[in-house]
Chains A and B, each alone.
Chain A
Amino acid sequence: MGTPDPYSPPSVAPRPVFEVEGLHIDYATEAGVLHAVRDVSLAVRRHESFGLVGESGSGKSTLAMGAIRYLASNGRVTDGSVRLNGVELLSLAPKELRALWGSRIGVVYQSPLSALNPSIVIGRQLAEVARQHLGMNQSAARERVAEMLTKVAMPDPEAVMKRYPHQLSGGMLQRCVIAMALMTDPSLLVMDEPTTALDVTTQAVVLDLVSELKREFDSAILYITHDLGVITKICDRVGVMYAGEFMEQAPLRELFKAPLHPYTLDLLGCVPHFDPSPQKRSLVTIPGSIPRVDELPPGCIFAPRCTFAEDACRAAPPPLEQRGEDHLSACRRWQIVPPPREHLRAATEALTTAGVAAGDRPTLVEVDDVQVHFKAAHGLLRNRQQRFIRAVDGVSLDVRSGETLGIVGESGSGKTTVARAIIGLTPATGGRISLRGRRLEPSTGRRPRSSLREIQMVFQNPDASLNPTRSVGDAIMRPLTLLSGLSRQAARDKAKALLRAVSLPESYFGRLPHELSGGEKQRVAIARAFAAEPELILCDEPISSLDVSVQGSLMNLLMRLQLEQNTSYVFISHDLSAVQHLSDVIAVVYLGRIMELGDAVRVLTPPFHPYTEALLSAVPLADPDVKQKPIRLSGSVPSAVDVPSGCRFHPRCPRFLGDLCVQHEPPWREGEGDHRISCHIPLHELSRLQAETLVLAAEKGGA
């Protein structure tokens, strides 16, 4: 396992392990040859981790897979050089390449469940690598697998080896894949969005593991991600890609604190920063969208979207050049690129509400002790006793008029079901929901049309929520004619106005959903939700599947529309950064119950519920200077059929007290304002314990 020398910073490290120079990758398509990756170079040293950041379409995965020569059959490396330990990969025969894959080159994939064969037990899949490359027999290979699983902190490796992939959780599976990739102590470890498919809490655990293994193993890491927060946890150097080229390469801290390219600057501004003040601000937006590689503009490819561009930028493409020590930028005007905090002040605006102080607003929706229980499947002969999935198990909250209530929690916490119960798509089985003091029927079908108009919903996946055969205009006109009773002509005019309101050109009226990008589709879904002039819009992870810059502009859109129309939102997300950015009030839910509820500022400052505390410390903040206390939750949310006794969070609680938590339901502890925490630990005690865990106490962090 290499030399015993301790982790040494990149500046004094020897010659790079992995070098890419002037790489060009083409795809042959029906429309012609696409130059997907053009003239890219990078170098990664031992123990170093190079972050490859970019939005979808930036070519980051193509670059990584092309460099290790695993491309689709229509892809081809046309020029350049890729060296691993000095060996030129581009001239290797397939057989020589296979000797490197899995031995000198390890790969960790985005979705661990689909990356493992569903019908072979874990142990055998991992052992395959040891047998192939380490020349081990079956029993030696099994031992090696057990040893590797122990190294990735897998509880009970022997049992895990006998499991099939679908029997393990995402976090456990990703550890297996990491163990498999590191089995041969590879020189290069390619990690392609390894935590994107995981919950925040699991992501934090996996990221900790990767940083630990980085020191223990000799590998150079090529880490691909779209998430700027994750980058700060793992990478030493970062390369920002845009439409197939590098815009900038720099050491991590320098890139975040003193970027020398406007694209990097804008990307940093798109991400909501933790800011527990009640004053809301917009986010930086990047006008336009990433160009297709067959329609690249002349000159600098970012110029058409750049706020700093001048005529000379559009004339000739600027080369990627050394602009500072170890800092490359492809911007002509790199000297005038301001620091991120200044840019943020200049490019965003404070959003002021109409002067009504929070708390004075009337209550719009009241959710009182709502339960949603589903019947669990049971056997024909045995297990006859009917059991219930308690998806939502007694939730009470208020949504005030013109405000946003954010609901956060891991997957399986029941946050989506709460929203579906409010709109009536999943009828509540207990409790009451009222709108302006008027009680609503549990099921949508039994509610009067007027109340259908009053509550609308925006779903996570616009592909699934827009009918692929109906035009954009039809989709928006439908609620207008159906719920608002407008004539077709009036509905048409209104629909066009709505398109403008969500910043889409009127020409989109006749388009079909497949002609739109993901962000544009979600804008149409938002326009449709606003069409009926609802009082409340339920947003169920509306931005999770989109790129960061698109997320930023959609959040701006939602905030602007709220100010204009005084609409209330329920914003559901697993992404605490987005929730804190948009919400006035935050509810933290776990296993069908609210753990903490209150004004955003109060929820985000101590005292925290231990669960909130753990969520906050798991969120990867896009600021390398913020130090977060590592509070980690083990495992995942338990099944809602067997809800733990006492406090349902007790099996995973980092501040578990003992029998009290197991035997008794925790009381509601009332804090300042409407702030409430459901915990056995008194608030002042929580405050004392959490005084130093503040994620927000960063001296320089937070813009």
Chain B
Amino acid sequence: MLRFILRRLGFMVLGVILASIIIFWATTVLPGDVATMVLGRYATDQARTQLRHELGLDKPIAVQYTHWLGNYAKGDWGNSPSTDTAVRPLVFERLRNSFRLAVIAFAMYVPLGILLGLVAALRKNTWADNVISVGSLAFIGLPEFVSGVVLITIFAIELHWLPAQSAIDPRSSYAAALPYLILPAITVALTSLAYVVRMTRSSTVDVLQMDYVRTANLKGLAPRRVLFTHVLRNSLLPTITVVAIGIGWLIGGLIVTESVYGYPGIGRLLLFAITHRDLQLIQATALLLVIIYVVANLVADILYAVLNPRIRYT
């Protein structure tokens, strides 16, 4: 088991390094000149050269890259030119906000998705299954900026139940922030919910047809016991993978959703950094998102291995 984890950990580090190269390369080949961006169009050539030298932009790209990655690993993420503050505290403050939103969305869609998926599987080909299956298909196709706007129109503008904007104070408590978080969390959850429902349904339908479920039934176990001891253990395995991969969707969804609601999360920060060509901020944020994504997948792999005895020690 330890070897398995170490191996996966190795792959993870490799993946992060690869991603960091791509991020660094992509940000340095972006059109436009950083010095011009920072100093304005009317700065002298000398001032620009000076700034490039200060930022290390006149060195070979490989040197720039190792320098950047080294500092990143040490926790020195540099200063953001566009906000003129240190990058790290800024990113982490926003990350905390996004994390809050993600946790609430997660707590909504994972249990609900599994529940709906199970109901659909157990009531296969009945009206309940049809409603759930068709409904989840509809939500898969709905982008966040549409569902977000619809939700705002109904619950904020028409019904006045919840605020339309979510520009909260980062230091506010969960309780105080909750009303602001509900609508964006629902928006994020809707898309991922559909994936969890569909995955749970199809894998549960498969497992219900397995011979060992017949064995369990013919042992004379009560249907509830068959479901909990024999079916769920196997049918939720693929769902775990989907949930982990869904974290990638979640991040993508956050960027859009946070913009729709004006929510000060990491997604909006990344968007801000890109529009302001703030390279330090883009690189730091993007790499952090990659690390989060990779770690989520690693956790899913390990969890899968723990729950599925057949792939242990591979």
A residues apposed to B, CB below 8 Å: 68, 70, 98-103, 105, 107, 109, 111, 114-120, 128-129, 132-133, 164, 166, 177, 180, 379-380, 382
Contact = CB atoms under 8 A, between A and B. Distances in A.
A180 B220 CA distance: 12
A164 B212 CA distance: 13
B222 A115 contact: no
Nearest to B310: A166
A115 B221 contact: no
Nearest to B308: A119
Contacts of B230: 117, 120
Given A118-B310, A164-B309, A98 B210 contact: no
A100 B220 contact: yes
Interface in B169-193: none
A503 B310 CA distance: 46
Contact of A103 (B3, B220, B310): B220
Contact of A102 (B3, B210, B212, B220): B220
Interface string B210-223: 11101111111110
Contacts of B212: 114-118
Given A119-B307, A166-B309, A114 B211 contact: yes
A120 B231 CA distance: 11
8 contacts: A105-B218, A117-B212, A118-B234, A119-B309, A119-B310, A128-B229, A164-B310, A166-B309
A105 B234 CA distance: 26
B7 interface: yes
Contact of A98 (B3, B215, B221, B309): B221
B115 to A, nearest CB: 21
B59 to A, nearest CB: 35
Contacts of B234: 117-119
Interface string B276-314: 000000000000000000000000000000011110000
B309 A101 contact: no
B53 interface: no
A101 B220 contact: yes
7 shortest interchain CB distances as A-B pairs: A102-B220, A102-B219, A101-B220, A114-B211, A164-B309, A98-B220, A117-B212
Contacts of A380: 7
B215 A116 contact: yes
B220 A133 contact: yes
B233 interface: yes
A156 to B, nearest CB: 19
A40 to B, nearest CB: 21
Contacts of B229: 120, 128
Contacts of B217: 70, 101
Contacts of A98: 220-222
Which size bracket describes the interface of B in this complex? 20 to 34
A479 to B, nearest CB: 38
Most buried by A among B7, B212, B218, B230: B218
A105 B215 CA distance: 12
B126 to A, nearest CB: 11
Interface of B: 3, 7, 210-212, 214-222, 229-230, 233-234, 307-310
Contacts of A382: 3
Contacts of B3: 379, 382
A128 B221 CA distance: 9
A177 B218 CA distance: 12
Contacts of A115: 211-212, 214-215
A129 B310 contact: no
Nearest to A99: B220
Contacts of A102: 218-221
A109 B215 contact: yes
A496 B216 CA distance: 51
A132 B211 contact: no
B65 to A, nearest CB: 27
Contacts of A129: 219-220
A379 B233 CA distance: 30
Contacts of B7: 380
Nearest to A97: B220
Nearest to B233: A119
Given A103-B220, A133-B220, 16 more contacts: A70-B214, A70-B217, A99-B220, A101-B219, A109-B214, A114-B211, A114-B212, A115-B215, A116-B215, A117-B212, A117-B215, A118-B308, A120-B229, A128-B221, A128-B229, A382-B3
Nearest to B307: A119
Contacts of A119: 233-234, 307-310
A534 B7 CA distance: 50
A75 to B, nearest CB: 13
A103 B221 CA distance: 11
Contact of A132 (B210, B215, B221, B308): B221
B220 A118 contact: no
Contacts of A166: 309-310
Q: Which of A101, A119, A180 has the most CB of B within 10 A?
A: A119
Contacts of B215: 107, 109, 115-117, 177
Contact of A120 (B218, B220, B233): B233
Contacts of A114: 210-212
B309 A132 contact: no
A101 B223 CA distance: 13
Nearest to B211: A114
Nearest to B237: A119
A695 B233 CA distance: 49
Given A109-B211, A117-B230, A120-B229, A70 B218 contact: yes
Nearest to A164: B309
Contacts of A180: 219
Contacts of A117: 212, 215-216, 230, 233-234
Contacts of B309: 118-119, 164, 166
Name, among B219, B233, B307, the residue most crowded by chain A CB atoms within 10 Å (CB to CB): B219
Contacts of B233: 117, 119-120
Most A CB atoms within 10 A — which of B220, B230, B307, B308? B220
A177 B222 CA distance: 20
A434 B234 CA distance: 51
Nearest to B212: A117
